[in-house]
């Protein structure tokens, strides 16, 4: 099946007739929905279920670790590209076989979560949540791989935007939808409904073209020679170490400050987010109020915050936006400290969600753009993977202790403490926020060829994202 992958073909815009003529768009929408659906079922919706089952706040904090596979999926992603699913791969192709396998596995694990009672089978419920996260994170790897293989360079933007739309529809369904169902029919019925909705992605995977791009395999005899082994080791060194060496060579000692800045920038959001659901339950809000304000209204406020971040980036530049985002994201947690001191009044919840979601999305766009600006053409994928993993993982590791802090000091003090993390972040922005990003490309032909890795023209700069479904936006829950 031929695909146009010409690197010089310009990206084109989505046309109305594409929705009818090109089935990849509809399939990508369904696959994006299937990727977004499980996330909140092991994060925000899951913690609400625990809170409304009167589970201890310390245990709720520890259960945030079940979602770690979303941050660690890069560890097993290479195997998904190289290992076939028995029987299915021969019939469906490698990617579609993995999509079907992971989607069925997610649905079965959601059924397990549906029938596991938090009061009597808490460990079984936690196991189910971890398995959902592992299988769903693996599904994300496969769906992203299919999207890249399914389109030439001119169509990647359209499929990425379609995937993002489907992903957000999945988040709304697993957030507001699951809460509305749970308030009327109970948690078991809600999770069974979510398991059934995985059929959307399963049908899309069965209908999708294979689009498998297999890498050429070296001959067995050649692979066994010392020279071939040395070549593989050299390739690993070039792929893993050289991007890191380039970062250090370009930034010098300031790189360590940049890494700390990236690690701390969104940490208050990850830590405080785990305790938001128990706070709603403690204050006395019901599931329908939480669904309406936090999962429906809050999403649109977050989208507005993302647009505001993109506008500020274009109007004022990188450094002022990064600095403002660091201050606003941390200070916004004071609104939750204020919320925790009052009663279950919907207007108070609306104010707190408005402030927190707007500021958090503003900061998310600033961080995505900042991390992207730190990469170098030729090393962008590996370097950005380093930054995006670093920004999420420390916060998720610390988030497990949030319940103990709340139990010891209470919600108001807890949210003030998460807000205080913004002080060193702002100081780090002032110290290293202006660190030179990309190395200037020499104007001379020879230097330009060297910078481009031997090609005649110097590499074009990597475009900064303006609200696309990057890792930071996807992992906010």
DSSP secondary structure of 307-357: HHHHHHHHHH-HHHHHHHHHHHHHHTTHHHHHHTTS---HHHHHHHHHHHH
The two three-digit tokens of residue 243, written as one number: 């991007």
Q: In whole angstroms, how far apart are CA 298 and each of 37, 62, 267, 349, 467?
A: 17, 25, 20, 10, 16
pLDDT at 436: 58
pLDDT at 354: 95
* Contacts of 156 by beta carbon, 8 Å cutoff, 6+ apart: 11, 147, 148
For residue 103, how many other CB atoms are within 10 A of its CB? Answer: 29
pLDDT at 230: 55
- How far apart are the C-alpha atoms of 216 and 259, rounded to whole Å? 36
pLDDT at 440: 46
pLDDT per residue as tens digits for the range 69-104: 988 887 787 787 778 889 888 888 888 999 999 999
pLDDT at 244: 74
- How far apart are the C-alpha atoms of 300 and 354, rounded to whole Å? 9
- How far apart are the C-alpha atoms of 262 and 255, rounded to whole Å? 11
Across 252-278, b (16+ Cβ under 10 Å) vs e yields: eeebebbbbbbbbbbbbbbbbbbbbbb
- How far apart are the C-alpha atoms of 466 and 388, rounded to whole Å? 16
Owner of token pair 């099946």: 1
pLDDT at 236: 52
pLDDT per residue as tens digits for the range 270-298: 888 889 999 999 999 999 999 999 988 98
pLDDT at 446: 40
pLDDT at 327: 93
C-alpha neighbours within 13 Å on the C-beta side of residue 436:
11
Phi, psi of 266 (to 5 degrees): -110, 10
Q: In whole angstroms, how far apart are CA 151 and each of 188, 200, 225, 293?
A: 39, 21, 37, 37
Q: What distance lies between CA 188 and its chain's CA centroid? A: 27
Q: Which residue ranges of the chain lie beneath pLDDT 70?
A: 1-22, 151-157, 211-242, 377-385, 435-477
Q: pTM of the full predicted structure?
A: 0.74
């Amino acid at each position: 099946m031929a695909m146009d992958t010409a690197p010089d073909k310009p990206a084109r815009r989505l046309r109305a007739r594409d929705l009818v003529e090109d089935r990849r768009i509809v399939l990508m929408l369904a696959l994006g929905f299937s990727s977004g659906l499980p996330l909140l079922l092991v994060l925000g919706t899951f913690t609400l279920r625990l809170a409304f089952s009167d589970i201890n706040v310390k245990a709720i904090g520890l259960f945030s670790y079940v979602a770690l596979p979303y941050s660690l999926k890069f560890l097993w992603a290479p195997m998904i590209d190289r290992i076939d699913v028995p029987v299915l791969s021969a019939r469906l192709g490698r990617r579609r076989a993995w999509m079907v396998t992971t989607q069925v596995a997610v649905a079965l694990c959601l059924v397990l979560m549906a029938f596991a009672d938090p009061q009597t089978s808490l460990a079984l419920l936690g196991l189910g949540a971890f398995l959902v996260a592992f299988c769903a994170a693996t599904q994300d790897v496969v769906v992203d791989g299919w999207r890249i293989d399914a389109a030439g360079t001119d169509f990647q933007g359209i499929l990425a935007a379609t995937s993002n739309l489907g992903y957000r529809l999945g988040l709304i369904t697993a957030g507001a939808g699951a809460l509305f169902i749970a308030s009327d029919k109970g948690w078991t019925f809600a999770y069974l409904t979510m398991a059934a909705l995985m059929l959307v992605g399963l049908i899309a995977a069965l209908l999708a073209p294979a689009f498998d791009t297999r890498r050429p395999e070296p001959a067995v005899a050649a692979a066994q020679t010392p020279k071939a082994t040395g070549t593989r080791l050299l390739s690993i060194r070039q792929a893993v170490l050289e991007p890191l060496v380039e970062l250090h060579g370009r930034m010098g000692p300031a790189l360590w400050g940049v890494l700390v800045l990236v690690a701390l920038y969104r940490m208050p959001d990850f830590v405080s987010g785990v305790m938001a659901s128990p706070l709603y339950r403690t204050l006395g809000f019901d599931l329908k109020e939480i669904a309406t304000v936090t999962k429906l209204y809050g999403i649109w406020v977050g989208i507005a915050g993302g647009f505001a971040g993109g506008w500020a980036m274009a109007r004022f530049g990188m450094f002022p936006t990064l600095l403002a985002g660091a201050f606003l994201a941390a200070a916004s947690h004071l609104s939750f400290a204020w919320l925790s001191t009052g009663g279950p009044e919907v207007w108070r919840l609306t104010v707190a969600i408005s402030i927190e979601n707007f500021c958090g999305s503003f900061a998310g766009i600033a961080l995505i753009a900042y991390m992207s600006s730190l990469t170098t053409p030729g090393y962008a994928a590996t370097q950005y993977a380093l930054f995006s993993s670093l920004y999420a993982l420390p916060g998720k590791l610390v988030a497990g202790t949030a319940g103990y802090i709340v139990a010891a000091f209470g919600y108001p003090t807890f949210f003030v403490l998460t807000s205080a993390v913004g002080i060193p972040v702002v100081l780090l922005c002032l110290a290293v926020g202006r660190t030179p990003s990309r190395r200037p490309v020499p104007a001379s032909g020879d230097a330009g060829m060297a910078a481009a890795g031997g090609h005649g023209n110097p590499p074009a700069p990597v475009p900064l994202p303006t609200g696309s479904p990057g890792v930071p936006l996807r992992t906010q829950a």
